[in-house]
Amino acid sequence: MAIVIDSSAKRLTLHTANTSYQMMVGEYGYLFHLYYGDSIGDGDCSYLLYKQERSLCSSPFCAGEDRAFTLDTAPQEYSAGGAGDTRLPCIIAEFPNGGRALDLHYFSHELLAEKPALKGLPSLQQGEKTCQTLEITLKDSDSEVYVILQYTVFEEDDCIARSCRVENRTGAPLRLEAALSACLEREAEEDLDLISFWGRHTMERNVERRRVSHGKIVVDSARGTSSAQQSPFVILCDHHATEDAGRCWGLNFVYSGNFAASAERSQLGSVRVTMGINPETFSWKLEDGESFQAPEVILSYSGCGLSRLSSNYHRILRENMCRGAFKDCRRPVLINNWEATYFDFNTDKLVRIAETASKLGVELLVMDDGWFGKRDSDWSGLGDWTVNEKKLPGGMQALCSKINALGMKLGVWFEPEMVSEDSDLFRQHPEWVLRIEGRGYSRNRYQLVLDMSRQDVREHLYQQISKVLSSANIEYVKWDMNRPLSEVWSQLLPADRQGEVSHRYTLGVYELMDRLTTDFPHILFEGCSSGGNRYDAGLLYYMPQIWCSDNTDAIERLEIQYGTSFGFPMSALGAHVSACPNHQTGRTTPLFTRGVVAMAGTFGYELDLNTLTEEEKEQVKEQIAAYKKHYDTINKGEYYRLTDPTRNRELCAWEFVSRDKKKALLFAVGTHVRANVAMPVIRMKGLDAGKQYRLTCQADHPLTKKDVGAKDGVYSGAVLMNAGIRTPMLKGDWPAFCVELEEVENA
């Protein structure tokens, strides 16, 4: 069984295929964390608990004269603030008298045969998998405050979905100042690192690895989104953990707003990691009889390195977070007109782009920003979601008919959450934006943020957007969001509830997304927020792919996509071949290389194909044909990081292996070509050692084609994984190569 409850020992154990998670009800009814790691079968880890009197560590009232018992050093399953544990708290509650202490004890538990949904929030879906859920109720010792911890075990995926719900039955209002979703405790003797993913606009999710020393490490966002600056995904791991060895614990937050992930090494060396909604931008007035549902955290553990941990997350997000018609089917190869035209386009210009694109195999034209209202720059027009017929005579239907006649689909860009100061919507409803009454407001691109916590705002947006989507055969939507939140204040909420606005904003966005994606199931929605400013597991619940970064430079993308791959599947990673010189860096990169890098994601084009030479157009045809041929291997197979582009300054390599291990693809880009060097060897991963594979190498440089390193031929999986492939001789600026492997039966 996935969940084993030993009532006599008051021990509760969660089992996945390769891991165990154990807790127990200990002295005085406190719920203690015992173990999370490699499978221990029916083992009992309660012997790890110990107590010892410590100076300056308080004992709870219920312990009486037992001075050796203290919560300040105990491994708690869910930590509460104000009652003796001075380390990172998961929950802080303020009572009507101003008191801020909770003393949580085990109250009851319930075993469920399925995974419950979280009201108003994205969460993993059970689907066709068999899941068990354990709900543990904790109760405050001196009041009727209850905390329900929820654990759903995805056994075959080595993942546990964890969340909590707070219920107020006290007869009076309660104010939550923190309500985090998960707490994870580790032993004192361990030498651990925390891996997080920092960034900025156009350079998101850079890998940062820090030793967990005494004190706190905080990874968070207060920008209103999960942010480009920090990702809501962290890894705790052995200091010497690598891709293929070492213990790794992951926490992936299913939430798109402000978050905080914190790690603290205590005075005695133990480590606590917490994750949830950022307490600095949160408070919640919980009336008597009400409950507050915290978002979900996906826990996963690997005892054999970072690669396995990533694989766990790739699989469960792809299979149990993404939903809808586009979860499993092949998504169309698209071309986006943004870098080709920016705001300067009309129907004729778009049709010319589509005519060329359709001949080369592109299947979807995405019309980006500028098709609506008074929108010839980013100074005006946002919020006025009506077609500008000066640009598009005959409206959306006329354009769509012309695009469909070419055998292509039409997609449209929206930025629903924003409004320009120069717009009809803002002039009509200035009260609909986030701004504090009596104060000025912050500008960003001369656009303001609509108060998505308001139902009237959401209803207006739904009516406007659904009218456009119903007006023509639109089959794709790019949902953008291009500024952080500021002056977070709503005219509809009283002063004592303004701390709720940020979370209510996120819930409002989710509600609108859910309504639109439900009512238009045939439309492929892609998330975007100035690129990767809202790249998180929560968004994947509504949109199966997210534009990874506004930085389309192929060489910069190597590091961006590398960092993203640790916690998110490549099937969700929006990646395009863009124009050169690149619009962000000015770098010129071979078209072959740009295609190789973009094939690590959803694949498309961000340029005017009419500007390409005939030879380049033939390359585009080949790229599209190759992507379609290998779609399942890339989007449904196992992904492996073969080199670290932040350390290996000469070569970046990655690999895809099909589920049945019959096919594999090795991609590599030379990032610093040097003279008179040895051709390095790349050892492949994930193949079947006993299978024979036919190897075919493709490269973009004439000299490379003369010496492809590993010769085209047949090799065993054992040879390719252990002896490896010698790379081609790399020449020129940013060269790339691709190696295709296919099983040869009866070889």
* Phi-psi group of 246: left, alpha or beta (phi > 0 → left; psi -120 to 50 → alpha; rest → beta): left
User: Per the structure block, which two tokens stand in for 370?
Assistant: 């500028």
CA dihedral (519, 523, 526, 529) in degrees, to 10, reads -50
Orientation angle between helical segments 554-564 and 591-598, nearest 10 degrees = 10
Cβ atoms of 83 and 143 closer than 8 Å:
no
- Provide the terminal-to-terminal Cα distance of the chain, rounded to the nearest Å: 42
CA distance 199 to 195: 13
Polymer length of the chain: 747
- What DSSP character marks residue 423? S
Give the tokens for residue 687.
Answer: 């193949």
Contact 655, 686 (CB under 8 A): yes
Q: State phi, psi for 745 to the nearest 5 degrees.
A: -80, 145
DSSP β-bridge partners for residue 296: 254
Distance CA(250)–CA(51), nearest Å, equals: 29
Sheet architecture: strand order including 91-94:
91-94, 174-179, 284-286
Distance of alpha carbon 184 from alpha carbon 494, whole angstroms? 36
Q: How far apart are CA 293 and CA 414, in angstroms?
A: 30
Question: Which residue, chain included where needed, has tokens 């108003």?
Answer: 120
Triad 398, 401, 404: Cα angle to 5°: 150
Contact 131, 1 (CB under 8 A): no
* Structure tokens belonging to residue 102: 């909770």
Identify whether the C-beta of residue 542 lies closer than 8 Å to the C-beta of residue 514: yes
Q: At what angle do helices 501-519 and 455-470 cross, to 10 degrees?
A: 30
Give the whole-angstrom CA distance, residue 702 versus residue 707: 9
Backbone angles phi, psi at 10, to 5 degrees: 55, 40
Conformation bin of residue 459: beta by default, left when phi > 0, alpha when psi is -120 to 50: alpha
Please tell me which residue in 319, 536, 553, 655 is annotated as part of the active site: 536
Q: Identify the sign of the CA torsion 200, 206, 211, 216.
A: positive
Query: Would you say 241 and 209 are in contact if contact means Cβ atoms under 8 Å apart?
Result: no
Catalytic residue, chosen from 44, 208, 616, 742, is: 616
Helix (H) or strand (E) holding 507: helix 501-519
Phi/psi of residue 269, each to 5°? 95, -10
Tokens of 728: 């081609």
Task: Please check whether residue 404 is in contact with residue 469, taking contact to mean a CB–CB distance below 8 angstroms.
Answer: no
Is residue 608 flagged as an active site residue? Answer: no
- The 3-state DSSP class for residue 659 equals coil
DSSP 284-336: EEE-TT-EEE--EEEEEEESB-HHHHHHHHHHHHHHHT--STTTTSPPPPEEE
- Rounded Cα distance between 541 and 255, Å, is 10
Q: Does 742 qualify as catalytic in the annotation?
A: no
Give me the active site residues, please.
536, 616
